[in-house]
Each structure stands twice: as structure tokens, then as C-alpha cells.
């Protein structure tokens, strides 16, 4: 199945700093999804990207899908303590998802 | 409220015992999934089912078994053959016929084998 590499594995920022996590694949992806998992919680769907070069925004979160559809990024502007958690990218197979290992974000006030 | 329920939230078992984790959904979703989550490993697919009375192995099915007798229910049994069963187990579901592949997750069961 398809595999995705997600970097960095962990990032610690001061509140107000920006944060970016990247998801990379060696093969062309049909689409990519992003999930957030709060500490002790379960993954929650954030967004799905389908089109080459697609950019979508959700308040302070910006999601991008690469032109070649082999990579994606999630950027958070001016992080807040509520952004703490692990962010996963996931790629679709026929009926399943393959998740990256996630980027754990810690935000210090 | 519509959603996915998993019970119990925490589960302790002695080594060598089988244990069954419950997953119920009232979202009328066709597909259901079981994942295992270990620290730093992301989510790994154990089993999935797209229709009642049918299921497929995921990437790490060894030592696990499932059943899908009802659309709403997809219980997972962790058998004594699973060598390292202590983990966080997540159940998920989704609509099959949809342009979105979004999966909805339950709150999870944290299994500790002593």
C-alpha cells in the first residue's frame, strides 16, 4: 500500500510562533486527509485535499497539496495552547486509509 | 446523539487471556475499522469491514479476530496469540459511497496486559 513520511516527529513552540508539518510520498496520491488528535483523545478529521496545488484555509490553519500530488503540508499561524496535539496525514487506498506517524505539537504559553 | 462508542475506556487483563473490545456506531455507516496506536507509531490498521458478515485483514491482523454480525457493531478480540497487546485501540467508521473518505473515530480503549 501507499506510505507517507511525516516530518518532523515532534515540535515544541512558544505560543504565537508558527508551525508546519509535512507529509511526503514517493508516489502520486489521489487525495490526502489531515486529522488532529488531542492528548488522550481520538483523531478528528480536519480536511481532505484532492486537487493538484490545492490550498485550503481554516482560520489559522493552511493546508496545501503539492503540484505533483506527492506532498502536503499543514501550517498553523500564531499557535495557541489549544493547538496542542498530534497532527496526522492520511492517504486513501481503495477503502482504507494509511496514516503517517504524526507530528506531535507542544505549545508553551 | 450520533456517534461511535467504545467500551470500556480502560481495560486490564492478565497475560494469556482473550479480551473483546466493543465498538458500536449509530451513524448508519457501512464501513468500520479497527486501529492500533502505539507511541510514535501512528495508527496501524488491524481489520476492516465494508459490509455485514464480511471483513478483511489490515496490516497487523495477527493475533486479532473480528466479527460483523450487525451493521452497527464491530467487536475486536485480542487473543492470547497477540505478543504485545498493550496499546490504545481505536474504532472508526465511514460512509462507503461518498466522495469524502473521512473516518469518524470512537474515543478508544486503552488495553493493558499485565
Say if the Cβ atoms of A95 and B48 lie within 8 Å.
yes
Nearest to A101 among B41, B96, B104 (CB): B41
Supply the pLDDT for residue A3.
84
For position A93, what pLDDT does the model report? 80
**A85 close contact with B: CB closer than 8 A:** no
pLDDT of A81 higher than 90: yes
DSSP 8-state code for residue B97: S
A42 interface with B at CB cutoff 8 Å: yes
Cα–Cα distance for residue pair A80/A60, rounded to 1 Å: 10
Q: What is the pLDDT of residue B1?
A: 57
Calculate ∠ Cα B56-B103-B3, nearest 5°: 105
* Residue B45: CB atoms within 10 Å: 22
CB contacts of B51 in chain A (<8 Å) are none
Give the residue numbers in B contacting A (CB under 8 Å), as ranges: 31, 33, 35, 40-45, 48, 50, 58-59, 90, 96, 100-108
Q: What is the pLDDT of residue B41?
A: 81
Q: Output B15 or A93, whichever has higher pLDDT.
A: B15
pLDDT tens-digit profile, chain B (114 residues)? 569 999 999 999 999 899 999 999 999 999 999 999 998 788 999 999 999 999 999 999 999 999 999 999 999 999 988 989 999 999 999 987 766 779 999 999 999 998
Q: Are A50 and A64 in contact (CB under 8 A)?
A: no
Amino acid at each position: 500500500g501507499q506510505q507517507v513520511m511525516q516530518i518532523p516527529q515532534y515540535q515544541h513552540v512558544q505560543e504565537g510562533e508558527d508551525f508546519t508539518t509535512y507529509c511526503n510520498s514517493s508516489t502520486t496520491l489521489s487525495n490526502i486527509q489531515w486529522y488532529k488528535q488531542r492528548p488522550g483523545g481520538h483523531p478528528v478529521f480536519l480536511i481532505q485535499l484532492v486537487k493538484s496545488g490545492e490550498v485550503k484555509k481554516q482560520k489559522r490553519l493552511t493546508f496545501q497539496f503539492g503540484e505533483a500530488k506527492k506532498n502536503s503540508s499543514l501550517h498553523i499561524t500564531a499557535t495557541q495552547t489549544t493547538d496542542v496535539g498530534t497532527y496526522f496525514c492520511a492517504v486513501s487506498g481503495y477503502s482504507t486509509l494509511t496514516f503517517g506517524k504524526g507530528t506531535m505539537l507542544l505549545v508553551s504559553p | 446523539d450520533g456517534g461511535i462508542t467504545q467500551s470500556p475506556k480502560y481495560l486490564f487483563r492478565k497475560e494469556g487471556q482473550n479480551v473483546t473490545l466493543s465498538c458500536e456506531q449509530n451513524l448508519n455507516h457501512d464501513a468500520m475499522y479497527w486501529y492500533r496506536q502505539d507511541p510514535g507509531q501512528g495508527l496501524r490498521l488491524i481489520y476492516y469491514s465494508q459490509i455485514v458478515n464480511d471483513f478483511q485483514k489490515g496490516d497487523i491482523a495477527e493475533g486479532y479476530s473480528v466479527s460483523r454480525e450487525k451493521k452497527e457493531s464491530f467487536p475486536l478480540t485480542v487473543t492470547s496469540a497477540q505478543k504485545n497487546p498493550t496499546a490504545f485501540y481505536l474504532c472508526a467508521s465511514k460512509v462507503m459511497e461518498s466522495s469524502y473518505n473521512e473516518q469518524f473515530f470512537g474515543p478508544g480503549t486503552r488495553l493493558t496486559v499485565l
